Chain A
Amino acid sequence: MTPGEIAIRALILGFIISLAVITGFAYTTLLERKVLARMQARVGPNRTGYIPIPWRGGEKRFLGGFMQPAADAVKLFFKEDPTPAKVDRVIYNLAPMLAVIPAILILAVIPWAPAFQLGPWKFQPYFAIAPGINVGVLFILAVTSIGVYGVVLAGWGSNSKYAVMGGIRASAQMISYELALGIIVLIPIMMADSMDLGVIVNGQRPIWYVFMQPLAALVFFIAALAELQRAPFDLLEAEQELSAGFNVEYAGMRFGMFFMAEYMKMISLSAIFATFFLGGYGGPLVDKFPWLGFIYIFIKIVACLFLMIWIRATLPRFRYDQLMGFGWKTLLPIAVLNFLVTAVLIVMAEEGTLTPIIDSVTQFFVG
């Protein structure tokens, strides 16, 4: 394929996958509302859209509330969207876009399925918008690191004290937790010996990295939650302290875009977690039927999303000093230690110094 053909294919695929993830975002909001409601012994949205099924004389309402995201979107589009006085107009309008763009950009490198032929297009070495990028992990780090601008600029551009405080909190938090995230990402890289996400997925056969490196997976998940600025790390929109934080001056679809950015980032970081630690698209029979990869990664993403929602329903918000202390004094040392131990073990295994130790241990226990 010529570079031009690859570019056109990436454009078409990018459009399709972005649309799919935007639909996914809408239904993630519904999932969150439903799951939170069930955990708090409520029912959740159940009026907008249902499938009536005759049941014992009356009718049973099946899938109640499945049109709720569409109703929410229509509401957001038709709400009045005033611009507050004395805001920095350019930055105020730019901030929601800067929040959404990185959330979509991350999807470019995520492998969705193994290599297969789709009409004239042959996807090698795996199915992604941009497959086979040898700096894929660094691309993810780069894009997540610029994701903070949307929030920070929304806070500063709104000309509001509460919003500025939310923006300041966001920037401090992102810088602090990015360190732990950046170091923990090195562990799957070292295990797979590559920064290519497809190689990392293939390196997790037959054992996922979450079982080989449970501590690393835990640290990654916590740091990812902090990068997402979701509960219990949602100090930048603490209702009690900052009324709503960085987005207090936004309304209508511009507020909707921040909402969208949060949920799309949830989806993309779940996909990254699945790729790094849960075996990505891998699963039984995936080599014979490549389309199974889509189903496997979908299930893994939904599982991660459920975990995030579960955590939001369970844990109270951190205090600010606890947040900083946890990031710098707990998460970062654990990440560095885990990294060092893994590096030493990998080198020892490569040099062969590990085999006599393992042999003697097995001899001691097994006899």
Chain B
Amino acid sequence: MIHPIPFTLLAAVAVAAALGMLTSRNAVHSALYLVLNFMTVAVLYLVLNAPFIAMVQITVYAGAIVVLFLFVIMLLGADLLRGVTDEVRGSERYHRYLAVLLALVLLGVFGYLLLQNNFGGTTLSPTIDASPQALGITLFQDYLFPFEVTGVLLLASIIGVVIFGHTRKRGKENA
């Protein structure tokens, strides 16, 4: 079990970073807050005896995805969030209500699960084998089908991107 003091500290940093990401008006600052959030969550995984997930979290999210975000932000020069224009304002009110509604639903689900567990009624067993070998065996034996389906899903999205890129290029040639 994780000691309450480091957990509270880590959770506080994670939540603060998430809030900073949401409230920052500068897209690069937002991306950096996101990196801090991913790192803190990775440390939480590490403390919970899941080193594989922690390292993958850093490599994939902090190391690749946010770098791509930064690349796009810098390439498009979209660093500073401009004020909301009149055009968007019409649809924005409707979006705002929808966002609040969805957030309430999410909070409700989390709260229900939390109350069901009676605040820490379940304990993580520290004897679980979290080595990469054990994880690989579980993933490729017990959960082979969901794993493969996820792979196909990712492949589908890659093919989709290739198709979009290709047609746009051909259209340009015709014009």
Give the number of chain B interface residues (Cβ < 8 Å): 25
Chain A residues with CB under 8 A of B68: 171, 175
Q: How far is the CA of A172 from the CA of B59 in the complex (A)?
A: 16
Hey, what's the 0/1 contact readout for A131-144 against B, CB within 8 Å counting as 1?
00111001101111
What is the total of A-B residue contacts with beta carbons within 8 Å? 78
Contact of B67 among A138, A143, A175 (CB under 8 A): A175
Query: Does A149 count as interface, using CB distance less than 8 angstroms?
Result: yes
Q: How far is the CA of A133 from the CA of B52 in the complex (A)?
A: 11
Please determine whether A146 and B70 come into contact, CB atoms closer than 8 angstroms.
no
Please determine whether A152 and B67 come into contact, CB atoms closer than 8 angstroms.
yes
Q: Which of B45-99 contact A (CB under 8 A)?
A: 51-52, 54-56, 58-59, 62-64, 67-68, 70-71, 74-75, 79
Task: Specify which of A152, A172, A182 lies most central, judged by the most chain B CB atoms within 10 Å of its CB.
Answer: A152
Task: Specify which of B63, B64, B70, B75 lies most central, judged by the most chain A CB atoms within 10 Å of its CB.
Answer: B63
Q: Which of A100-156 contact B (CB under 8 A)?
A: 133-135, 138-139, 141-146, 148-149, 152-153, 155-156
Q: How far is the CA of A171 from the CA of B55 in the complex (A)?
A: 20
Task: Specify which of B70, B131, B133 lies most central, judged by the most chain A CB atoms within 10 Å of its CB.
Answer: B70
Chain B residues with CB under 8 A of A148: 63, 67
Interface of A is mostly: helix
Q: How far is the CA of A145 from the CA of B67 in the complex (A)?
A: 9
Query: Does A180 count as interface, using CB distance less than 8 angstroms?
Result: no
Interface of B is mostly: helix
Give the number of chain A interface residues (Cβ < 8 Å): 30
Chain A residues with CB under 8 A of B56: 138, 142
Please determine whether B51 and A141 come into contact, CB atoms closer than 8 angstroms.
no
Query: Does B14 count as interface, using CB distance less than 8 angstroms?
Result: no
Which A residues have a C-beta under 8 Å from some C-beta of B?
88, 91, 133-135, 138-139, 141-146, 148-149, 152-153, 155-156, 164, 167-168, 171-172, 174-175, 178, 182, 194-195
